[in-house]
C-alpha cells in the first residue's frame, strides 16, 4: 500500500514519490514544486480541519486534503 500525504499529521516529514491523478490539479502541484524527491514538512491544519499547510522547497504551500490524497510519499 502506498502512503499519501493526507495520512500525515502536523509535525511529520516525508519525501514526495509521485502524484496521481491528472489535469489541472496535478499540473499545479508539479509546478509548485511537489515533485519526486522533494521534502515536505506538514506544518498545520486550518482551524476548520481543512486545508493543510506544508513547507516545501523553502516556502509555505497550502492545499486541501482531497489534493493531499493525490500525493504519494515514500
Partner 1 sequence: MTYTFALVGNPNSGKTTMFNEITGSTQYVGNWPGVTVEKKEGKARKFKEDIEIVDLPGIYSLSPYTMEEIIARDYILDEKPDVVINIVDATNIERNLYLTTQLIELGIPVIVALNMMDVIKSREDRIDVEKLSAFLGVPVLEASASKGIGIQELVEKALEAAQSRASANSCERCKMLDDAIEQSLDKAEPFVALPARQKGYNSRWVALKLLEGDEKLQEKLKVPVTLMEDIKSFRKELEQKYDNDMETLIADNRYRFISDVVAKTVKKNNKGNILTLSDKIDKVVTNRILAIPIFLILMFAIFQVSFGALGSFTVDWLDSFINETVGGVIKAWLEAGGAAEWLRALIIDGILAGMGSMLVFVPQIMIVFFFLSLLEDSGYMARAAFIMDRILRKLGLSGKSFIPMLIGFGCSVPAVMAARTLENEKDRRLTIILTPFMSCGARLPVYALFAAAFFEQNQGVVIFSIYMLGIVIAVLSGILLKKFVLKGEVAPFVMELPPYRFPTIKGIYIHMLDRSKDFVKKAGTVIFAAAVVIWFLQSFSFSLQMVEDAGESILGFIGKAIVPAFAPLGLDDWRASVALLTGLVAKEVVVATLGILSGVGAAGEDSAELAAALQTYFTPLKAYAYMAFTLLYMPCIAAFGAIKREMNSWKWTFFTISYQTGTAWFVAFLIYQGGRLLGLE
Nearest distance, CB of residue 70 and partner 1, angstroms: 10
Among 3, 7, 15, 30, binds partner 1 (CB under 8 A): 30
Residue 17 found at the interface with partner 1 (CB under 8 A):
no
The reply on whether position 5 binds partner 1 by CB under 8 A is no
Distance separating alpha carbons of residues 34 and 43, to the nearest angstrom: 15
Binding status of residue 64 toward partner 1 by CB under 8 A: yes
69 binds partner 1 (CB under 8 A): no
60 burial type by CB count under 10 A (0-12 exposed, 13-18 middle, 19+ buried): exposed
| Unique residue bearing C-alpha cell 509546478 | 31
If one counts every other C-beta atom within 10 angstroms of the C-beta of residue 41, the result is 15
Nearest to partner 1 of 7, 21 (CB atom): 21
Amino acid at each position: 500500500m502506498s502512503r499519501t500525504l493526507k495520512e500525515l499529521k502536523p509535525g511529520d516529514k516525508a519525501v514526495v514519490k509521485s502524484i496521481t491523478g491528472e489535469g489541472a490539479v496535478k499540473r499545479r502541484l508539479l509546478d509548485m514544486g511537489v515533485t519526486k524527491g522533494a521534502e515536505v514538512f506538514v506544518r498545520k491544519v486550518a482551524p476548520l480541519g481543512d486545508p493543510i499547510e506544508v513547507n516545501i522547497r523553502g516556502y509555505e504551500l497550502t492545499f486541501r486534503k482531497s489534493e493531499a490524497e493525490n500525493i504519494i510519499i515514500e
